[in-house]
Amino acid sequence: MAATSKSEAMSGLKLISPTAIYVILLLAVPLATVILYSVLTGGRGTISLPFTFENYAQLLEKPVYGYIMLKSLLIALVVTFITIVLAYPVAYFVSFHVRPERKSLWLFLITIPFWTSYIIRVSLWFVILGYGGVVDSALASIGLEPLNIASYSILSIIIVLAHAYAPFAVLPIFVSLEKVDRSLLEAGQDLGESRWATFTRVTLPLTMPGVIASVLIVFIPTVGDYVTPKLVADGKEPMIANFIETQLLKLNNYAQGSAFAVTSMVMVAVVCLIFILLNRRFIGGQK
């Protein structure tokens, strides 16, 4: 008995070992290194003992660190909000108003933006938002001053990120909408509620697991987005990832950069946990 369970455990280990080795070497080891670096004494291009919390203390002392952290979180929250608000109606339309045999075609169409490189899509936003771009030309044709939206760095970052992540948000919401028993919506109306009230009282609560999944899928990568601020705002409005890059690669300050990385990881984890706890009545417990 003990022998069989032991051999079962062995074969289980064998099965997961490729993934486990991959995860350990490429995720756990670098993560441990970053955490270790963050409590070592750093200098220009050097890292050495003794252990110290000086790197973390620096984060508290200099307001620029807190500002960048807060700015990144706010940008990510706004992007997440916009993305969900845009993605929900799309998912709703495909789930409720598209004929069943056409649904896969629609989902396929939603993924079309991914056929083009993200870098190219970001560059194309300049054509739309930049000085003399599509938006400004349209405004000029009706006699309005050009806006040159691209010069507002944070606004541009939000627009570009929201566009980039919308398709990711559609899919989890779509899946949760597909699972809603349509007779529940009829029951809501049968009991005297309007379509809108039925939506807010039945459909939306039942699809919250999908919304929560979408929020996490969008929020976590946008907080740490590197490419968009770099390209769209030309580095004028650095977010967390850009700042870490500056610390690690430009200033060669591994200890400070690592402390910043660990802190931002903790912040994101805390925000996600708070969000999940606030919505825990929607998660699980349903058949």
Partner 1 sequence: MTFSDDRPTMIEFKDVHKYYGDYHALRGINGTIKAGEFFSLLGPSGCGKTTLLRTIAGFEGISSGVIMIDGKDMVSVPANSRPTNMVFQSYAIFPHMTVEENVGFGLRKDPRSKDEKAKAVDEALQMVGLKGFGKRAAHALSGGQRQRVALARGLILKPKVLLLDEPLSALDKKMREHNRRPATKKVANFIGTMNFVPATILSEDGDKVEVEAKGLGRVMLDIAQAPEKAGEEPVVGLRPETLTLLYDDQKASERETDGVIDEVIYFGDMTYYDVYLGGTDVEVRLSMRNVPGRPVLDVGTKVRVAWSPSALVLFR
| Site for partner 1, rule CB under 8 A | 181, 183-184, 186-194, 197, 201-202, 205-206, 282, 285-287
DSSP string, 8-42: HHHHHHHHHHHHHHHHIIIIIHHHHHHHHHHTEEE
Q: By C-beta, is 150 or 208 nearer to partner 1? A: 208
Which C-beta is closer to partner 1: that of 190 or that of 234?
A: 190
How far apart (Å, rounded) are the C-alpha atoms in residues 118 and 217? 17
| Rounded Cα distance, 188 and 206, in Å | 13
Task: Report in angstroms how near the CB of residue 59 gets to partner 1 at its nearest.
Answer: 42
Q: How far is the CB of 187 from partner 1 (least distance, A)?
A: 4
Residue 203 or 258 having the CB closest to partner 1: 203
Per-residue burial over 199-223, b if 16 or more Cβ lie within 10 Å, else e, is beebbeebbbbbbbbbbbbbbebbb
CA dist 33 and 141 (Å) reads 57
Nearer to partner 1, 204 or 271 (CB): 204
Nearer to partner 1 among residue 62 and residue 195 (C-beta): 195
CB of 199: closest distance to partner 1 in angstroms? 13
Q: Closer to partner 1 at the Cβ: 176 or 258?
A: 176
- Give the C-alpha separation, 74 to 78, whole Å: 6
- Give dist(CA 165, CA 169) in Å, integer: 7
Closest CA to 59 of 47, 68, 72, 50: 68
Closest separation between CB of residue 284 and partner 1, Å? 11
Closest approach of partner 1 to the CB of residue 94, in Å:
22
The least CB distance from residue 185 to partner 1, in Å, is: 9
The packing angle between helices 63-97 and 54-61, to 10°, is 80
**What is residue 86's three-state secondary structure?**
helix
In the complex, least distance from residue 106 CB atom to partner 1, rounded to whole angstroms? 22
Name which of 38 and 95 has its Cβ closer to partner 1.
95
The H or E element containing residue 144 is none
